[in-house]
A and B are shown apart, each in its own frame.
Chain A
Amino acid sequence: MAAKDPVCGMDVNPEVASAQALMSDHDGETYYFCGKGCKLDFDEEPAKFFEPGYQPSM
């Protein structure tokens, strides 16, 4: 049910995120975001958030 925001690490309800178009596809997977900031950050440079050393801000 819950998805994880790859940017900040928060749990996200996909239904709530979808309603706001807070989702992005990357490498065939759909990622959901808690808010606009995370989605914009993700879209700017998706690869950064999959680096092993990346620490979500929350």
Chain B
Amino acid sequence: MLDAMTASVSDTSAELSLPVIGMTCASCVNRIERHLNRADGVATAHVNLATERATVRFDPALIDRTGIVASIEAAGYEVGREATAAVGSQEADAADEAEHAAERRELLTGAIISLGIGAMMMGIMFAPGGPPWPMLDINRWFLVPATIVQFVYGRRFLVAALRGARHGEANMNTLVAMGTLAAYGYSLVVTLLPDLLMASGIGHETYFDSAAIIIGLILLGRWLEARAKGQAAGAVKALLKLRPDTARVLREGGEREVPIDQVVVGDLVRVRPGDRVPVDGILIDGASAVDESMLTGESLPVEKAVGDRVIGATINASGSFVMRAERIGRDTALSQIVTLVERAQGSKAPIQRVADQVTGWFVPAVIAIAALTFIGWMLLGPEPRVTYALTSAIAVLIIACPCAMGLATPTAIMVGTGKGAESGILIRDGGALEHAQRITAVVLDKTGTITRGEPAVTLVRPMSGTDEADLLRVVAAAERGSEHPLAEALVRHADAGGIPMVEATSFEAVAGRGVRATVDGTTVLVGTAVFLEDAGVDLTQAEAIDVGAASPAFVARDGILIGLIGLADTVKPASAEAVGRLQRAGLDVWMITGDRRATADAIGSQVGIGPERILAEVMPVDKAAKVEELQAEGAIVAMVGDGINDAPALAQADLGISIGTGADVALEASDITLVGDDLGGVPTAVRLSRATMRTIRQNLGWAFGYNALLIPIAAGLLFPVAGLLLNPALAAGAMALSSVSVVANSLRLRTFRTA
């Protein structure tokens, strides 16, 4: 009987795990478990303070989720909503991305179908030995596919041209639309009214193929362009993602998780280990180490005690604390950085303007030339005048179709950026490439860029008869329980040295000061000078030791100082060589840091940057201003940095280069991102950009030169002297060849050596 009952309970039991808000101590756990266990239908209830979850096994016939939640609420706590993917913004991003992908697919499909149809038509019309069927039949067969290409795949050009025309503007689309419509329209008349035109001496040749191939090639160019385009607008979004969505505000009735925009100045907010600090404020209770690397770039978590300032978006690395909100919304440091990035980004798009100006001049000129060609042939040309006038005018429009010009830049950028990506150099867009080849100065952030950005043991000085192995053994044992980064560096160092591991029997961390542990039955203290002095340890023998740029950790055993260990950030292996390569490339190399002058100079001397080129003690917000100062002196500046703190400086610089170790915000705020951890990519990026821009200039020179040469020929200027004239199909063919040569030239960039 009892067995049957148990079986039936387990058969019908269900389990539920719920997040519980507001628990602070073991009493809370007891209280909730007590309430849950009293509820009908609950078999077992386990509440975990650390994970803040209640796991309940229950009989669904007697109680459901609502009942369990009610029971937890009756105990005086709240059930949180399950952590879900950030709402809204991410969905919007996904929709955005899906739209872009659909657009790219549409362009590529259109290009392939249009080119396929065009090539097939051309193949039939230019078949060896002449067209295999009568032209009139061929024209009728072509009519439907040509119409589809012209008005379905070519629709975007017609719409854009029409929209431009309404505002009295002519652009690239106008040329494409006019040229293809002229070719298509003429062919349509020939096809539908062959007798009418025969009467005026016009043959049965049509130009459906030209129209299709032109549309196909230009769609292909647009597709390449869409692919090559970077995500310029993503930076601000990525920055804002750092802001947590909610905050645990302490209000009457306990701790409540509220949306971040409901936090007001003066609110007390609890921040748990691992949480992001929601707003800027002052720590009023508890202590912790906070990872501020995303704002300051400095990788060492900063110790925070009562009265210290904590900054929104930084990560609480160790203890729980309560802060008073002081700056919210737009006033937070994070929001100010966002504004800085936006402003800096909004102020630069010079290439686009230049391109628009050229187009604005080029397109009307071509239309005017086509019109003049038509009039000229009508007035001066031989019979059949209409044919000559029409075909020449169409030839002008088509040969001037800025295909090669449209392809010149995107293909080179695609190959150049692709080549860069192969070697870990991500280039955001063409603007970045253009700026990279013009820079005259490089500003390198120190922490995380030149240096590793994480502490390592740089000095071990045993004292009072202790040897190095013994000192490290004791320190590793004492620090093993701590999650502080300095402690991790100490343990890592000891482990790497093969120091045998011993366990500490008791362990206590004193936030911001050090640890106290029992090792081998002795009391070991590892920490700051103040920590040891307060414990009565005499530090006299350590006074004469110069730790240089390192942070010292003092070690005492049973009240006697037994050693001193220096921890410091170290230079990455490739930094010195990269600085040398940049200097040999004729660039002025600077270092910028928020660190003390002495630390900065010490690092500078290791990589070959003299003190006169070191900008030390620069606050994160002032880095952009320093870059601006260099720009005011006439330098074209590349800024290389990692954290978000560098984002304004990266945006202010003519070229922002971020190193992959940084947050992805800096990555998007920057023009170039180095995936690798070292600076070696910077000189390579400069060389790659020089090669790519050289290719673009060749391409543009070719495309413009080709137009300058062939437009007069298409217009018939050579007809009187050499009898030379281009018909529209030949013009389209020549134009396609021109595009191919531009693409081929771009592909040569593949041979670029990154090493």
Could you say which residues of chain B place their CB within 8 Å of the CB of A41? 27, 31
Min CB–CB distance A21 → chain B (angstroms): 4
Task: Name the contact of A37 in the complex, choosing from B76, B285, B322 (C-beta under 8 A).
Answer: B76
Query: Which partner residue on chain B sits nearest A9 by CB separation?
Result: B25
Query: Which partner residue on chain A sits nearest B22 by CB separation?
Result: A36
Tell me if B264 counts as interface (CB < 8 A to partner A): no
A37 to B24, CA, bound (A): 8
Q: Is the CB of B268 within 8 A of A40?
A: no
Q: Is the CB of B30 within 8 A of A13?
A: no
What string of 1s and 0s marks CB contacts (under 8 Å) between A6-50 and chain B? Answer: 011010010110011110000000000011111111000000000
Could you say which residues of chain B place their CB within 8 Å of the CB of A21? 252-253
Tell me if B203 counts as interface (CB < 8 A to partner A): no
A25 to B560, CA, bound (A): 48
A19 to B251, CA, bound (A): 6
Q: Is the CB of B27 within 8 A of A35?
A: yes
What string of 1s and 0s marks CB contacts (under 8 Å) between B646-674 and chain A? Answer: 00000000000000000000000000000
Q: Is the CB of A19 within 8 A of B31?
A: no
Tell me if B142 counts as interface (CB < 8 A to partner A): no
Chain B positions 1-50 with a Cβ under 8 Å from a chain A Cβ: 22-32
Q: Is the CB of A37 within 8 A of B268?
A: no
Q: Is the CB of B76 within 8 A of A36?
A: yes
Could you say which residues of chain B place their CB within 8 Å of the CB of A19? 250-252, 268
What string of 1s and 0s marks CB contacts (under 8 Å) between B251-275 and chain A? Answer: 1111100000000000010000000
Q: Is the CB of A10 within 8 A of B322?
A: no
On whether A37 and B23 interact (CB within 8 A), knowing A16-B250, A16-B322, A20-B255, the answer reads yes
Query: Which partner residue on chain A sits nearest B252 by CB separation?
Result: A21
Q: Is the CB of A34 within 8 A of B24?
A: yes
On whether A36 and B254 interact (CB within 8 A), knowing A16-B268, A16-B284, A19-B268, the answer reads yes
Q: Is the CB of A7 within 8 A of B268?
A: no
Min CB–CB distance A11 → chain B (angstroms): 9
Q: Is the CB of A37 within 8 A of B32?
A: yes
Chain B positions 91-149 with a Cβ under 8 Å from a chain A Cβ: none
Task: Name the contact of B28 in the complex, choosing from A13, A15, A16, A36 (C-beta under 8 A).
Answer: A36
A41 to B32, CA, bound (A): 11
Min CB–CB distance A30 → chain B (angstroms): 16
A5 to B28, CA, bound (A): 13
Q: Is the CB of B250 within 8 A of A35?
A: no
A19 to B325, CA, bound (A): 13
A19 to B31, CA, bound (A): 22
Could you say which residues of chain B place their CB within 8 Å of the CB of A38? 24-25, 27-28
A22 to B284, CA, bound (A): 17
Q: Is the CB of A40 within 8 A of B253?
A: no
Q: Is the CB of A13 within 8 A of B284?
A: yes
Tell me if B157 counts as interface (CB < 8 A to partner A): no
Min CB–CB distance B508 → chain A (angstroms): 15
Tell me if B75 counts as interface (CB < 8 A to partner A): yes
Min CB–CB distance B579 → chain A (angstroms): 50
Q: Is the CB of A35 within 8 A of B268?
A: no
Q: Is the CB of B252 within 8 A of A57?
A: no
Please indicate which of the listed interface residues A10, A36, A38, A58 has the most CB atoms of chain B within 10 Å of its own CB: A36
A5 to B25, CA, bound (A): 10
Query: Which partner residue on chain B sits nearest A15 by CB separation?
Result: B284
Min CB–CB distance A26 → chain B (angstroms): 17
Q: Is the CB of A10 within 8 A of B24?
A: yes
Task: Name the contact of A20 in the complex, choosing from B29, B30, B75, B252 (C-beta under 8 A).
Answer: B252
On whether A34 and B25 interact (CB within 8 A), knowing A16-B285, A40-B76, the answer reads yes
Determine the interface band of chain A, counting residues with CB < 8 A from chain B.
Answer: 20 to 34
Q: Is the CB of A37 within 8 A of B252?
A: no
Could you say which residues of chain A place their CB within 8 Å of the CB of B24? 10, 34-35, 37-38
On whether A57 and B30 interact (CB within 8 A), knowing A16-B284, A20-B255, A35-B25, the answer reads yes
Q: Is the CB of A20 within 8 A of B285?
A: no
A20 to B254, CA, bound (A): 5
A8 to B269, CA, bound (A): 22
Query: Which partner residue on chain B sits nearest A17 by CB separation?
Result: B250
Q: Is the CB of A37 within 8 A of B27?
A: yes
Q: Is the CB of B75 within 8 A of A37?
A: yes
Q: Is the CB of B26 within 8 A of A8?
A: yes
Q: Is the CB of B27 within 8 A of A57?
A: yes
Q: Is the CB of A37 within 8 A of B250?
A: no
Q: Is the CB of A7 within 8 A of B27?
A: yes
A21 to B251, CA, bound (A): 7
Min CB–CB distance A19 → chain B (angstroms): 4
Could you say which residues of chain A place their CB within 8 Å of the CB of B284? 13, 15-16
A35 to B22, CA, bound (A): 7
Tell me if B77 counts as interface (CB < 8 A to partner A): yes
Could you say which residues of chain A place their CB within 8 Å of the CB of B27? 7-8, 34-35, 37-38, 41, 57-58
Min CB–CB distance B248 → chain A (angstroms): 11
A18 to B285, CA, bound (A): 13
On whether A13 and B285 interact (CB within 8 A), knowing A19-B268, A36-B76, A57-B27, the answer reads yes
Q: Is the CB of B285 within 8 A of A15?
A: yes
Query: Which partner residue on chain B sits nearest A11 by CB separation?
Result: B285
A7 to B749, CA, bound (A): 74
On whether A37 and B251 interact (CB within 8 A), knowing A13-B284, A16-B268, the answer reads no
Q: Is the CB of B28 within 8 A of A37?
A: yes
Q: Is the CB of B28 within 8 A of A35?
A: yes
A19 to B266, CA, bound (A): 10
Min CB–CB distance A33 → chain B (angstroms): 8
What string of 1s and 0s marks CB contacts (under 8 Å) between B283-304 and chain A? Answer: 0110000000000000000000
Chain B positions 63-81 with a Cβ under 8 Å from a chain A Cβ: 75-77
Min CB–CB distance B282 → chain A (angstroms): 12
Min CB–CB distance B32 → chain A (angstroms): 7
A22 to B76, CA, bound (A): 12
Query: Which partner residue on chain A sits nearest B24 by CB separation?
Result: A35
Q: Is the CB of B32 within 8 A of A15?
A: no
Q: Is the CB of B26 within 8 A of A58?
A: yes
Q: Is the CB of B31 within 8 A of A37?
A: yes
Could you say which residues of chain B place their CB within 8 Å of the CB of A36? 22, 28, 76-77, 253-254
Min CB–CB distance A17 → chain B (angstroms): 9
A21 to B30, CA, bound (A): 21
List of 9 A-B pairs having minimum Cβ-Cβ separation, nearest first: A35-B24, A37-B28, A13-B285, A37-B31, A36-B76, A34-B24, A8-B25, A21-B252, A8-B27
* A–B pairs, 10, beta carbons within 8 Å: A8-B25, A8-B27, A13-B322, A20-B251, A20-B254, A22-B254, A35-B27, A37-B30, A40-B75, A57-B25
Residues of A within 8 A of B (CB): 5, 7-8, 10, 13, 15-16, 19-22, 34-41, 57-58
11 more CB-based (< 8 A) A-B contacts, given A20-B250, A36-B253, A40-B76: A16-B284, A19-B268, A20-B251, A21-B252, A35-B22, A36-B76, A37-B27, A37-B76, A38-B27, A40-B75, A58-B27
